[in-house]
Structure 1
C-alpha cells in the first residue's frame, strides 16, 4: 500500500464529530453501563427525526466515582440496598415494573418529591442563602462538595477540591478532541459543571452545540454562586454571560421537573458576542409516566423528539470550509 493510500484510510476512519455526555447528581451505574444507556436513549430520540443519521460517535464524562466509592449495580435486587437502581434505562414504551415497590420505598420517594417541591420551587427555600446552604449540605452531597472546598472528604478526594476534579475531566475530554466538532449534552448538575468549564475556555475553543437538560442553572442562589466563582459583578436580577466558546445553546426542561423549575434560562443568561444565548424548549420527559414519576430523568430527556432534532441537525451540519474557518479566526483576532 502506498503512503498516500495509508493516510487516506487514516483520514476516513477519523471521526469528525463527537457527542460528549456529562451526567448529573447522585450515584450512577458503572461508566461503561451508563455510557451505553445514554447512547441508547439518544439513538431513540434520533430515530424520531426524518433524515437523521443512524449512529454517531459518543463519549461519556463520568464523575460519580469521585463522590461514590461503589457504583450502582443492576444485579442488586433489594430496593433497600444503597446500590439498587431505582430507575434503570428502559426502551420506549416504558413498561410497568414487574415488582411493585414496597410501602417504605413508596414513602421514601414521596418524601424526596415533597422536599424537591418545597426547596426548589420558584418560591421555595432555594431563593434564600441560609436555608439553601443548610439543605444543600444535608440533601445534595454532590452540589455541596462542589461549592465547599473546606469540607470535602479528604480521604476519598486526596485533598483536591471536588470542583477541580470534575472540571478537569470535562476539560481534558474537550482538549483531547479539540480538532472535532463537539456537542455537549449535560444533565442536571452536569450543566453547571459544563457552564463553568465552557466559561473558562473563553473563545479559545469552539463548542458547536451545548444542550442543557433538567438544568438548575436558573436557581437564584446558584446564579449568585456562578458569578462569585467567575469574578463577575452580580446583583439580584443581573444576567450572566453565555460562554464565548458556545456556538449554539439549547435548554430542555419538563414543566414537572422541580430541578429545572426556572425553565427560561434566556431570562438569566445574556447572549455572547456571537449573539448566542439559551434557546429554551419545554419537552415531555416520559419517565414521569413511570412508577417513580421522575420528570428529571436523563434517559427521558434524551429520547424526546426535540433532542433528536437537535442531535440530527448537529450531525448533518456541513463542516466549515477553509474560507469560513479563516474568517472566524480573523474575526476572533480583531476582537482581541
Structure 2
C-alpha cells in the first residue's frame, strides 16, 4: 500500500508523534466526500521532524494546532518563534537584506510586540495581516531559511549543537529511505520551509532515495534568493527533480499566503528539459491566516490531487 512522508515548516512544533497525528486528523476531517483517512485506506505515514534542530523544546499547546479558529491558527504559527536574525549575524548580509526587502520587511532585526494579534498598523499592504504579526512570522522564516541554506552551526540546547543543513538533510534521507520500504506509491507532502528542504534533498543530496510524487504547499521556492542558494544543481530550464521524482510535482498555493505570494507559481522556474511540468494549483484558503497547514489540508483541490497520487 501507499506511504506518505510529510515534512513541516518553520516554527516551534509539538513533538513528532503529536504533529504527525495532527496532520493525519486534518486530512481526515471536513466534508465526508473529500476527507482522506489515511489509516482506513491502508496508507502509512511518517514525519520528517526538524523543529528541535532550531528550537529548544516542543510546543506543548497541541490544541492550537487542532483548532479551526483563525486566531488560534495564527498563534500556533507565531507564538514561540525564537529569536530572529540581524544583519550582523548573517553569513551573507546582502543576501539577507535582499530577501528581507522582497518579503516586505522594514528590517530583519525585528521589534516583537507583546501581543501582535492586537497590534495595529497604518502600513498598507497586499496581505490581510497586521503588519507587526507579519514581521514576527517572517522574521522567524528568515532565520530558519538562512540557517538551513547557509548550514549554520546552531545550539538549540546547551548539550547539543547541529550543523543545521547537514542534520536536517540526514533526517530527511533517513525518513525517505524508511518510507520507501513501507509501500508504493511513495509521496512526499511538504509545507512552507519544508518544501525547500524536500527540494534541496531530492536534487542536491546524491544518496537521497527517489519518490513517486512531490506535493508542495505554501512554498517559498519561487523566490529568487532561495533559488540562488539551490544552484548550480537548480536551473530554471531544468530544475525539476527528474532523477528523484518519478511522477508528478503538484504545487498548491493561496495567493494571499504571506510565504508563497511573492512568486507562488513554480512551473516556470522548475522546468524539465525546458518544458513546464509542475502542476500549479491555486486553492484559496479562508480567513486572515492563509499559510496554515490545516487550511491547506482542508482544501478540496489538494485532497483530490493527493487521492490521485496515492491511488485511493
Q: TM-score, normalised by structure 1?
A: 0.66
Change beyond 3 A, Cα 1:221–1:158: same
Task: Describe the SS at the equivalent of 1:243.
Answer: coil
More helix by share: 1
Equivalent positions of 1:164-179 (< 5 A) are 164-179=166-181
Superimposed CA distance per residue, residues 48-75 of structure 1 (whole angstroms, 9 cap, x where no aligned partner): 3399974431211111111111111128
Say whether 1:268 aligns with 2:277.
no
Aligned-residue Cα RMSD (Å) equals 3.5
Is structure 2 residue 218 aligned with structure 1 residue 225? no
Cα deviation code 1:184-219 (max 9, x no counterpart)? 100000000000111146698441121000000000
Structure 1 residue 88 and structure 2 residue 65: aligned?
yes
Please give the residue correspondences for 1:90-169 in structure 2 after superposition, counting only pairs within 5 Å: 90=67, 94-95=68-69, 105-107=117-119, 110-115=130-135, 140-150=142-152, 152-153=154-155, 158-169=160-171
How far has the Cα of 1:88 moved from its partner? Answer: 2.3
What secondary structure, in the 3-state scheme, does the structure 2 residue paired with 1:88 have? helix
**Structure 2 counterparts to residues 1-336 of structure 1, below 5 A:** 16-44=1-29, 47-49=32-34, 54-55=40-41, 56-74=43-61, 87-90=64-67, 94-95=68-69, 105-107=117-119, 110-115=130-135, 140-150=142-152, 152-153=154-155, 158-179=160-181, 180-181=183-184, 182-200=186-204, 205-228=209-232, 230=233, 238-244=236-242, 245-246=244-245, 247-261=247-261, 262-271=263-272, 277-286=277-286, 289=287, 293-316=288-311
Deviation at 1:140, TM superposition (A): 2.8
CA displacement 1:116-172 (0-9 Å, x = unmatched)? 89x8xxxxxxxxxxxxxxxx6x76321121123355338668554201111111110
List runs of 5+ in structure 1 lacking aligned partners.
1-15, 76-84, 120-135, 318-336
Partner of 1:241: helix, strand, or coil?
Answer: coil
Distance in 2, Cα, partners of 1:206 & 1:96: 37
- Report the CA distance shift for 1:64/1:271 in structure 2 as closer, same or farther (over 3 A): same
Change (3 A) 1:316 1:70: same
Higher radius of gyration, 1 or 2: 1
Gaps of 5+ in 2: 76-113, 121-128
Aligned mates of 2:279, 2:201 — CA distance in 1: 20
Aligned to 2:130, what secondary structure does the other structure show? helix
Partner Cα separation in structure 1 for residue 37 and residue 248 of structure 2 = 19
1:299 aligned counterpart, secondary structure: helix
Say which is worse superposed, 162-171 or 54-63, in terms of deviation: 54-63
Please say if residues 45 and 308 of structure 1, whose CA atoms lie closer than 8 Å, have aligned partners that are also in contact: no
How high is the TM-score relative to the length of structure 2?
0.71
